[in-house]
Amino acid sequence: MFVLESYTLAVIFCVITMICWGSWANTQKLAGKTWRLELFYWDYVFGIALAALFFAFTMGSTGSEGRGFLEDLAQASPGNLWSAVIGGVILNAASILLVGSIALAGMAVAFPVGFGLALVIGVVVNYVAQPQGDPTLLFTGVAFVSAAIVLDAVAYRRIPTGDRSNGNTGLILAIFCGILSGFFYRFVAQSMSPDFIQMEAGKLSPYTAMVFFALGILLSNLVFNTAIMLKPFKGERVSPWEYFRGRRSDHAWGITGGMIWSVGMMFSIIAFGVAGPAISYGLGQGATMVAAFWGVFIWKEFAEAPVGTNRLLAMMFVSFTVGLILIVVAGS
C-alpha cells in the first residue's frame, strides 16, 4: 500500500484535507436551489463510500510497504473493524447536525463553531491517547483557534435579526456537531496500526479503516437521515420517493461533495502514520478557515452586517492562521 514517510509530505496531505473538508459544503449550496438537504445527504454518503472503495483498491492495494487491502482485511480483528464503524456512526451524526446548521445559519457560522469546537476537543482527546508533538506549541495553537471561534460567534451576532431568523437554532446545531466531531477520529485512529510499515497484527491499514468507517456512515444514515426526512430542520417533511425523482445533476452534486470529503479523510489518516493523530486531526480542522472564506467572500453571508464586522472577521482569520502554524511547528 502507499505509505508516507516524510513529515513535510504529511503536512501537505493535511493541507489537502483542510481544503477538502472546508470546500465540500459548496456542493450543498449549489444543489440547494432545487434539491432538499435531506435528499442531497443520501448522495453525499454514497460519495464517501465510493471514494473509500476506490482508495482501497488503488493506493491501498499497490506498493511494497505494509499490507494490501484484502490481505489487511483478512487478518483484521473484529474489535478494530467495529471501532472504525463506530467512528463512522459518530461522524455521521455530527455531519447531519452540520448540514442542518449550514442550512439555517450559513457556512461562515456552521464551520467555525462546529469545526473549531471539534478541533479543541479532538486535539486534546487524540493527544492524551497518543502523545506526539510539542504540547506547549500544540495547545497554544488550539488556544488561538478557540479565540477564532469566539470572534466568529461575536461577528455572527451582529447580523440583523431579519437575516438570521433560524440562526440561533443553527448555532446550537453547530455546537452539538462540534462535540460529536471531537470524538469520532479517536475511534478510527484506535483501529489502525501506529506503524504503517511494520504493521501490528489485528490492526488496520488506513485504507481498510476508511472502508469500514464509510460503512458506519452508510448504515447509520438509514436511521439518521430517515429521521430528518420525517422531521426536517427546515421546511416540510420529505417523501423518500422524492429521491428517485431527482435529476442527474441533483445527484451529482451530492456524490461529488461526499467524494471531496472522503479524499480529505483519507489523506488525513494516511498522514496519521507520520504526524500522529492529534496533529493530523488538528490541521484538518483548519477547514474552518477555508469554509469561512467561502461563506464570507463567495456567498456573502455577512453582507448585511454592520460596520466593524469585517474587523472581527479579519481577526478571526488571523487567529486561525496563527493557531494552524503553531500546530504544524509542534509536530516538526
Does residue 34 lie within any of the structural domains? yes
Query: From CA 41, how far away is CA 58, in angstroms rounded?
Result: 26
What integer pLDDT is reported at residue 161 of this predicted model? 54
Does residue 214 lie within any of the structural domains? yes
Does residue 184 lie within any of the structural domains? yes
Query: From CA 23, how far away is CA 53, in angstroms rounded?
Result: 22
Torsion of CA 278, 196, 271, 118, to 10 degrees: -30
What integer pLDDT is reported at residue 165 of this predicted model? 54
How many structural domains does the chain have?
Answer: 1
Does residue 2 lie within any of the structural domains? no
pLDDT digits (tens, 9 = 90+) for 284-326: 877 777 877 887 888 887 788 888 888 998 998 899 889 888 9
Does residue 147 lie within any of the structural domains? yes
* Domain extent at residue 282: 7-331
Does residue 83 lie within any of the structural domains? yes
What integer pLDDT is reported at residue 261 of this predicted model? 95
Which runs of E-coded beta strand occur in 1-73? none
Which residues of the chain are modeled with pLDDT < 50?
A: 163-164
Query: From CA 219, how far away is CA 43, in angstroms rounded?
Result: 14
- The three three-digit cell numbers of residue 146, written as one number: 478557540
Query: From CA 226, how far away is CA 41, in angstroms rounded?
Result: 10
Residues 6+ apart with CB under 8 A from 307: none
The CB density around residue 15, as the number of other CB atoms within 10 Å, is 18
- The three three-digit cell numbers of residue 191, written as one number: 483501529
Instruction: Identify the three-state secondary structure at position 204.
Output: strand
For residue 225, the surrounding DSSP H or E stretch is helix 206-230
* Nearest Cα residue to 316 out of 106, 105, 118, 152: 152
pLDDT digits (tens, 9 = 90+) for 41-87: 999 999 999 999 999 999 999 988 999 999 999 999 999 999 999 99
Does residue 302 lie within any of the structural domains? yes
Beta bridge partners of 297: none
Does residue 67 lie within any of the structural domains? yes
The answer to whether the pTM exceeds 0.75 is: yes
- CA 175 to chain CA centroid, nearest Å: 14
Query: From CA 14, how far away is CA 320, in angstroms rounded?
Result: 15
